Structure 1
Amino acid sequence: MILSVLLYSFVVFTVIQIAYYICFSTFLFHRKKENKETIKVPVSVVICAKNEIENLQKILPSLINQEYDDFEILLINDASSEETSEMMQLLEKKYEKLKIINVENIEAFWGNKKYALTLGIKAAKYNHLLFIDADCKPVSKHWIAEMSQNFSKEKTIVIGYGKYIKVNSLVNLFVRFENLLTAIQYFSYAKMGSPFMATSRNLSYHRNEFFKVSGFINHMHIKSGADEFFIQDAANKQNTEIATTENSFTISETPPSFKELFHKKRLQLTRRKHYKLKHKFFLRLFLVSKIFFYLLATVLFFFYPWKIKLPIVLTYYLVQFIVIGFSAKKLQEPQVTYFLPFLEIGLLIFQLSIFITNLSSKPTHWK
């Protein structure tokens, strides 16, 4: 009797997982529509930086050389040191398209990036804003063009993909897999009409959308997550588009260690408790059903005939390999598919460790 219940439960959780992956496959069929109403717009590229002069010296040439007619680069100097601020001023003199907005910390918003971003957004020359982090760079000279062509009268928020540089290390492979899986989720949710997050490494929207939701006011007390919470507040089925062409990607280096990645993901997990109820439910259901899939598969391995269990497991892996495999190809991450089962189990252990750690202590903001 107990074994029958366990088997039926295993089947249920397997079906839930397969249903998720079928839903995730929706973004694979995304094609940029030839829309006569698509308009070529002037763009303000926004970078918020705090003591990141080395990164800025790397990224600015790739932005200045973008093949796009009308754009500015708005650099928000988020209370950097005096030496860094002086270097920024030299960069402003060097690059004609570069404009610097200096932000000083005030007591009410000490160290809050959202405050700096708000001042920068207000000061931008153009209404269409394209965001990138200082430690990233576009993969091509057509990044601005690829992202901005998704704007139309209806589509005023564009979610892009921020990938990581490939190097031969376990940390790098793990980070790229986790980043790929996250992107598959937020692209597919957006494609299905329920966007829930984006990355600050590659996000664009019309300034009116920012003011419609009163900027970051609803979550100004949370130091991180400006991109995620903005999407939670402002994005919907009607106004959101995704950009998945290779030339629309940005790229950056992975965290150098599991320790830094662990802390970063701890912060992300704490932010998710502020998501909309439906997003919290479906994100948690995906994780919980996967955990029970592996737990029950392990238990049944010892007590149930393999001829019954094996087809169920193989069906799950077949669907998963197809969806993640084609997604990895589309987002230029084919290598992660070769190690999929091991990376997935490792990610589950990693996520459970974060959850348990967060129960005993709260992560502090790490800049």
Structure 2
Amino acid sequence: MQHLETLLAHYGWEGTTLVALLLAMWFVQLRYYLFVYGPVASYRNNRRPTVREAEPPVSVVVPMFSEDYAFVEERLPLILAQEYRDFEVVLVYVGSDGDFYEDLQRLRHTFPQIAVTKIHLDPRFPISRKMALNVGIKSARNEHLVFSSTDAVPRTDRWLSLMAGGFRKGDIVLGYCGIEPGKGVWNRLARTWRMMHSADWLAAAVRRRPYRGTLHNLGITKALYFGANGFSHLNMNIGEDDLFMQRIMTAENVSIVLSPRASLRERPWGGFRWWFGTERYYGSAIPFYPSRVRSYLRWEPLSRTIFLAAACCALAVLPPELKIAAGVLVAARYAAVLVAVRRLARRLGEQRLLAAYLLYDLLSPVLQLLVSAALLRKDARVWR
């Protein structure tokens, strides 16, 4: 109490409040980067394995919503080249091009592990990804399933082996998918955004509080899927990797595979406009998350914004000794953050993102605000 009275006497209630706010947000930031994100970089999946095959037969289910010859010629071969004993690739073609479907069927003569099924596309009855996955799951011959997309490619030929190994320790397997490196500042910023937002749900899973995965790199067993009576939120075209997962995930049934060799990279289809549209589309599910998850997601960017704003105010208006203290806190915060981000990037197989992170650190609250403002308006693409 005496120290508080001394602070009030020297700096007034405004200065004292600013110092207290700065310290409080500094501790919140350190908690996130050292104790929330930090364990992701050092995580080892050492849970006791269940009694299952070391290399169970796996079905990779990939929906196709266009006549994507680039996927067939460039990305599908990387899936087929996986070093794994027993797997199939189930392609679910949603369309009306008979020639393309025949081309897919002919692939089976060269690659017998390919299975192809078709859903006829009728513009009057749009087909969602969940519907395509449901058909693929029913068509798959194996109990263990890995979902991916035509936009994502494995980084190595060990991807499927590592993901399949995750089934020894859980019925749900979470993997990482980054954005493919490209030219320009925006590409690095988008890659950093993907890495840090993936760190949110990976960190929650490491702490045994899982709430989502990524639709590009997600494993699940048939028994768990059909035991839950299939996908939920059927009035939405999204939610298979988060809203549905929140129904079936527990602290005991989730296995996390963290390795650069087990990660995928998604091809970006544009710059800011593509990124913004994607974030708005999939972000429409966030209002349906549990309140504890929404609070967890908001506190890091909010505390960062308050901390940086308070630091700027302190450097501008407080006496010299407190300006020095504020500068030390900012420097200490960035030192801890950059070390944590470097370790996280290395674990997830991301490279050359530290400089981009500094830009992300400043801009992401503004970008998140833009996305949140866009979500106030209903996205017609989401609803059926």
What TM-score results when the alignment is normalised by the length of structure 2?
0.88
Rate the CA distance shift 1:363–1:197 in 2: closer, same or farther, 3 A: same
Q: 2:106 aligns with which of 72, 90, 95?
A: 90
Q: Does the 8 A contact of 1:24 with 1:323 survive in 2?
A: yes
Shift of 1:124: 1.0
Shift of 1:72: 0.9
Q: C-alpha deviations, 1:281-326, integer Å up to 9, x for none?
A: 1112222222222222222221123112112212221221121111
- CA RMSD of the aligned region, Å? 2.1
Q: Does the 8 A contact of 1:28 with 1:330 survive in 2?
A: yes
Alignment partner of 1:365: what SS? coil
Counterparts of residues 180-259 of structure 1 (less than 5 Å) = 180-216=195-231, 218-259=232-273
Alpha-carbon separation, structure 1, partners of 2:99 and 2:19: 64
Counterparts of residues 259-298 of structure 1 (less than 5 Å) = 259-298=273-312
Q: C-alpha deviations, 1:227-250, integer Å up to 9, x for none?
A: 122321211210111111222111
Q: Does the 8 A contact of 1:129 with 1:206 survive in 2?
A: yes
Q: 2:58 aligns with which of 43, 63, 71?
A: 43
Q: C-alpha deviations, 1:304-360, integer Å up to 9, x for none?
A: 23112112212221221121111111112231113322222122221112222333x
Q: AA paired with 1:353?
A: L
Counterparts of residues 264-343 of structure 1 (less than 5 Å) = 264-304=278-318, 305-343=322-360
Residue 162 (1) aligns with residue 171 (2): no
Q: C-alpha deviations, 1:86-119, integer Å up to 9, x for none?
A: 3323333442111112123579962321112112
Alpha-carbon separation, structure 2, partners of 1:268 and 1:104: 25
Rate the CA distance shift 1:80–1:350 in 2: closer, same or farther, 3 A: farther
Rate the CA distance shift 1:317–1:80 in 2: closer, same or farther, 3 A: farther
Q: AA paired with 1:345?
A: L
Alpha-carbon separation, structure 1, partners of 2:126 and 2:204: 34
Q: AA paired with 2:26?
A: T
Alpha-carbon separation, structure 2, partners of 1:33 and 1:56: 37
Residue 23 (1) aligns with residue 36 (2): yes
Q: Does the 8 A contact of 1:47 with 1:132 survive in 2?
A: yes
Shift of 1:54: 2.3
Corresponding residue for residue 5 of structure 2: none
Shift of 1:25: 0.9
Q: C-alpha deviations, 1:247-291, integer Å up to 9, x for none?
A: 211123224210110111112322111112211111122222222
Unaligned runs of 5+ in 2: 1-12
Alpha-carbon separation, structure 1, partners of 2:97 and 2:275: 26
Q: AA paired with 2:70?
A: E
Alpha-carbon separation, structure 1, partners of 2:99 and 2:269: 26
Q: What is the percentage of aligned positions where both structures have the same residue?
A: 21
Rate the CA distance shift 1:291–1:84 in 2: closer, same or farther, 3 A: farther
Unaligned runs of 5+ in 1: none
Q: AA paired with 1:125?
A: R
Q: 1:119 aligns with which of 135, 143, 156?
A: 135
Q: AA paired with 1:121?
A: I
Larger Rg belongs to: 2
Q: Does the 8 A contact of 2:188 with 2:356 survive in 1?
A: no
Alignment partner of 1:48: what SS? strand
Rate the CA distance shift 1:83–1:170 in 2: closer, same or farther, 3 A: farther
Corresponding residue for residue 88 of structure 2: 72
Alignment partner of 1:77: what SS? strand
Q: AA paired with 2:74?
A: K
Q: Does the 8 A contact of 2:239 with 2:285 survive in 1?
A: yes
Corresponding residue for residue 145 of structure 2: 129
Rate the CA distance shift 1:339–1:110 in 2: closer, same or farther, 3 A: closer
Rate the CA distance shift 1:275–1:80 in 2: closer, same or farther, 3 A: farther
Corresponding residue for residue 2 of structure 1: 14
Q: Does the 8 A contact of 1:78 with 1:113 survive in 2?
A: no
Q: AA paired with 2:102?
A: E
> How many residue pairs align between the two structures?
363
Rate the CA distance shift 1:179–1:3 in 2: closer, same or farther, 3 A: same
Alpha-carbon separation, structure 1, partners of 2:261 and 2:271: 28
Q: C-alpha deviations, 1:65-90, integer Å up to 9, x for none?
A: 22211111101112354443333233
